[in-house]
Each structure stands twice: as C-alpha cells, then as structure tokens.
A and B are shown apart, each in its own frame.
Chain A
Amino acid sequence: MLRDYFRFALGTLSHRKLRSWLTMIGIFIGIAAVVALISLGKGFEQAINREFEKIGTDKLIILPKTGVGAPGTNAVAELTEDDLDIVKRVSGIENTAGFVFANSKVEFDDNIGFFFIIGLPEGDERDLVAELQSLNIREGRNLRDNDRFSALLGSGVVDKELLGKNINVRDKIKINSHEFTIVGILEKTGDPGWDGSISIPEETLREVFNEPDKLDEIIAKVANVENINIIADKIKSDLRRSRDVKKDEEDFDVQTPEQLLGSFGDIIGIVQSVLIGIAAISLLVGGIGIANTMYTAVVERTKEIGIMKSIGAQNKDILLIFVIESGLLGALGGLIGIALGFGLSFAVEAVAKNVLGTNLIGAYFSYSLFFGALMFSFLLGAVFGVMPAKQAASLQPVDALRGK
C-alpha cells in the first residue's frame, strides 16, 4: 500500500512539474549548503588528523607570544638559544630542534622574488625537523653539517616557477646578496609555508641576516607520550624562571598536540555552527515553501480528496498520501542538493589543491552522509507537509466532492 502511495505521489509531482521544481529549488540550496559544509568540515578534520599523525603526538611546539609587552614599547618577545638549552635539559625530552626564519630578497638570473628563508639546524636536530615536516629530497641531496652557502628549494619554488623556469640543482642564487648553491629540491609537503620556501643552514642564516641569538620556534620530542602534559608544564615553569615572567603572563607558548588539535577543532566548530545556522534558516524557508505548495495542492485537489474518500479512503490514507507527497518533494530536492553539495566541496578541494597548494582542504564523501542527508530531506518535507495533509484528511467527503 505504501508503495502505491509513493507511486501515486510521484505521478502527481510529475503532473505538476513546474511547481514541483520551484518548490524543490527552495529545499536544495539548504541541503547543498549542509552537505558541502559537513563534507568539507569532515575533510578538514581528517586532513588535520593526518597532519598530526605525520608530526606525531609526541612533540611539543614552543613559540614566542606576539604582542606581549607594555603598551607603546612594541616589544616582541623572542626565543633564544638559551631557551633551547633549557628545554633540552628538561627531563623526559628526547630531542629538540630550534628554527630561525627570515624573509629575504632572492635573485636568480633576472628573476627576483621575496621568500621565506628557513634556517635548518645541524645533526640530530635536522633529522627531527625532517621527520616533523616529512621532508624528503626529490632531486639532489639534503643539507650536510659542513655546508655553508648551500640551499634547498621547496617544491613550489620550482613547480610554480617562482624564480623562472630553468632553475635546477647546482645553479647559483643570491639570498640577501650572498651567493648560494642549490644542492637539492624537496618533495611537496602540502604545507604551503614549506613548499614555497628556501632552506639554508642555520649558522649561515644567522650570519647573513645578523641574527646571532633569535629562535622563532622550538620543537621538542618527548621520550614518553604519556607524560607529555607534565613535561609541557615543566618546560613552562623552567622557561618562566629563566625568562623571569610570572605565571599566566608568559611571553611564550608551549603547545601540546592535543591543544593544537583542540584549537583547530574549536575554529572548525565555530565556523561550522555559524554556517549551519545560516543553512538551517534556508532549510526552514524551503520547508515553508513545501508547506505552501501542499496547502495549494489540498485546495486544488479538494474534489480528488472527496472522490478518494467516497471510494473508501480513510482519513489516514489521505494523510499518508499527502505526507508522502511532500516528503518526496523534500527528498527529490534533497537529492539535487546532495549532488550539488558534494560537487561544491570537490570543487573547493580542487581549487585548494591547484591554486592554494594545500592538502588541508579536502572533500569527504560517505554513504552514511549521502543517505543521512536524503533521509533528512524526506523527513523535512514530510514534517512540513503534516499540517496541510491533516487539513486534507479532515475534509468532509460531501463537502470535498462539491469542491468546497
């Protein structure tokens, strides 16, 4: 019997094509937005998790806090080699690496560009950095401990021809007016910061940019992941003492993977809830559109309802017929919305990959999302159809037959 009602509803909807389409437009925009949001949100979450898996859960990141200091002094706190030594001495730390960054003019032949220059530390530290950022050599070789004016190019520098087409291993470039030899090109990491940068030995960077002591970032690997929070607290208190700052007034930040993941999650959550709120409004409007269409249908088909009642349809049959019809309006609109939503998120992924060069924004597809959204749109339609359907069901057969 239900199957007959579905068939019946489909027949009626196709009989009123234009109105059915217009009603469905109301619903599919909302559904498309929701599907795209969930797909991209999930995709982003997965990408973040992937990144953290790559980095591992056993690493702490220590960063200077920017904008700390008395108003007007404009002092920016910096980390130094001393801080690195303190972190290194905290028990439970297996390994540390400090980075120093610079921005500089780079020249190759007639090409000039401004690049992010990363100072790669020596020895074990360099291995730690390589592990953290999944740095692999695509061409040439890695930096060595006795290298001085050698440089590694990020994959993007070559692939996007940021310094012209012909650049290759063994070519000479000028960084801050000093000549460097390119010894290697890195594989793509998916992190636009690394892919678009040039790496040189740390000591050389300090010399060329006159930065004897500064560190922009310290990474510490702990021996035992279970103690990571205790170790983070220990690092904090040791650094507070050496830098002479009070608790809660730190001019540095020690981030645990959990915190990083959490703060990403928070941002995603806020963005998603705002957008889903907007989508919900659009769905509400779409639902009201369905209700409106169904009320019109009840008025138009009053006589039909009377006929059906006179040949034995009970109130519940009429109710079901109309609820199924409005549910189908929702589901068909939903189907288009789902296709559009996934299409949109895969388009965003393509743009992110090819234009922005990031792997972080990706679409996520699953059958449960697909069928969940379809079910949701059917229910949405059905719910908004209940009131008109009740009105249809409660019509008196004699009045309905007379078209009243």
Chain B
Amino acid sequence: MRQIIKLQDVWKTYKMGNIEVNALQGLELDVKEGEFLAIMGPSGSGKSTAVNMIGCLDVPTKGKITLEQHDISKLSESELAQIRGRKIGFIFQQFNLIPTLTALENVMLPMIFQGVDEEKRKERAAMLLGLVELGDRTNHKPTELSGGQQQRVAIARALANNPDVIIADEPTGNLDSKTGAIVLDFLQKLHKKERKTIVMVTHDASLVKVAERVEFLKDGKIVKSLRR
C-alpha cells in the first residue's frame, strides 16, 4: 500500500511559563493509503498533537513530516492551508460547524476556499448531505440540529473536496452511544465503500474495533501497535 503520511522522529515542545512540555517525543508513524488507523491513548498522551501534525494544522518543533513527498515543515502557511483543503477532511469532537451558516452552506464552505463554482458546489453538498441521510435538513442551522446530525453534517463537510485522508478527532466524544454508533458506522462505510484513508483518535477502547490498525500512544511516543 502506498504511504500517504510519514512522521519521522517528530518532537513538539510547548512552553508553559518557564516549563517546557514535550507533547511529542520522537514520534514515528506511517499512514498508508486506504487504511483505517486508530490512535489510542489516555488524555495528555499527545494524541491531539499527533493528529494536528498529521492534519497539517501544526508543524513540529523537530523532526520531519512528509505528506505525499512534501516536507510540510518547509511549506508556507497558505500552502499548508491548500493541502488541508484538498487532501484532508477533519471531523472534530465538537463538530465545529459555523453557527451562522445552514447545513448546506457549511458543507459548501471548503469548496468555496478551493474555488469550486457555485452550481457544482451546491450539487455536491446536497449529494453529500444525502449520503449522511440529512437530505431533508439542508437549510437547517447547526443549532436546529441534534448532536448526531451535526456530526453527520461535519462528515459531509469533511468529504466536500474529496480528500485522501479523513481525520477524526474523538468523533463520538460528544455523542451518546447510540448516535455515536451511527457516526462510527458512517466512518466505516467511507472506509469500505469509498476507500478513504481514515485516522481516528480516541480514548474509547470500544471504538477501535472498527480500525485495521491501532497505535497506542503514551508520553508522546508509540508504545504498542496492534494489527487486525
């Protein structure tokens, strides 16, 4: 399988007052095309920092991150933004929809930043909302939707520019187990039917059963790998 993302000896150091905290300490990680990877670990283990690196939201203090032959530490902020927009789709724990926009407009937003014209945008956004079974909720604002529905809008938004990688940071963390299961089901479908690469971060052991590979993170390092 082709390698999409490779992290080599990645360090991330935060300064908290006078104390330096190493969130990542020489993290080594590969993400291969088409796989469903779960990153597990207790809180404070560096999961979120790791996933931010994979998603090009953050750059390492030390080390190398390669995304399809690009060394992301050498890219400018706007080049990173373009990569995020085209190649990566994010799903957050808190859904992170824009409250002033409707579901349809939220799904259209990533396409606006990529300069997709309006007709195509609308068509694709409507199609994606249909895919997550929200075809009848297109003109609702996020506040008019339930948590599970909001997270499905977020999934549709993550798919807007047909990215290579979907990054899901605790996607069910704010949902009850039933709606969480539905969301997880959609992620699995994306992986199986659309052959999307999925990187999911969680601390919930019950979720990792859907993943093909699980990496356990502790103190900013991989401590255990599990392949199914």
- Give A contacts to B, CB under 8 Å: 1, 4, 8, 11-12, 15, 303-304, 307-317, 396-398, 401
Contact = CB atoms under 8 A, between A and B. Distances in A.
A307 B84 contact: no
B81 A313 contact: yes
Contact of B98 (A304, A312, A316, A398): A304
A8 B100 CA distance: 9
Contacts of B96: 303, 307, 310, 401
The contact size tier of chain B is: 20 to 34
Interface string B70-84: 000000011001101
Interface of B: 52, 55, 57-58, 77-78, 81-82, 84-86, 89-90, 92, 96-101, 109-110, 112-115, 118, 157, 160-161
Contacts of B52: 398
A311 B157 contact: yes
Nearest to A317: B113
Contact of B77 (A11, A312, A315): A315
A314 B110 CA distance: 11
Nearest to A5: B112
Given A303-B96, A304-B98, A317-B113, A312 B81 contact: yes
A4 B112 CA distance: 8
A126 to B, nearest CB: 75
A312 B100 contact: no
Nearest to B158: A311
A4 B161 CA distance: 17
A311 B113 contact: yes
Given A15-B100, A307-B98, A310-B55, A315 B112 contact: no
Given A310-B57, A314-B81, 9 more contacts: A12-B100, A304-B99, A307-B98, A309-B81, A312-B86, A317-B81, A397-B57, A398-B57, A398-B58
Those 3 A-B pairs whose CB atoms lie nearest each other, nearest first:
A312-B85, A314-B78, A312-B113
Contact of A311 (B84, B100, B115): B84
Contacts of B113: 308, 311-314, 317
A398 B48 CA distance: 10
A16 to B, nearest CB: 9
A313 B78 CA distance: 8
B68 to A, nearest CB: 16
Contacts of A401: 57, 92, 96
A315 B81 CA distance: 8
A12 B90 CA distance: 23
Contacts of A398: 52, 57-58
A394 B92 CA distance: 22
Given A1-B115, A398-B52, A312 B161 contact: yes
A12 B113 CA distance: 18
23 contacts: A4-B112, A4-B118, A15-B99, A304-B98, A308-B109, A308-B113, A309-B57, A309-B84, A310-B84, A311-B109, A311-B113, A311-B160, A312-B81, A313-B85, A314-B77, A314-B81, A314-B82, A315-B78, A316-B78, A397-B58, A397-B84, A398-B52, A401-B57
A312 B84 contact: yes
A315 B113 CA distance: 11
Contacts of B109: 308, 311
Nearest to A310: B90
Nearest to A303: B96
A311 B85 contact: yes
Contacts of B78: 314-316
Contacts of B89: 311
A11 B57 CA distance: 27
Contacts of B58: 396-398
Contacts of A317: 81, 113
Nearest to A313: B113
A397 to B, nearest CB: 5
A329 to B, nearest CB: 15
A317 B55 CA distance: 19
A15 B81 CA distance: 27
A314 to B, nearest CB: 4
A96 to B, nearest CB: 75
B83 to A, nearest CB: 8
Contacts of A307: 96-98
B167 to A, nearest CB: 9
B152 to A, nearest CB: 16
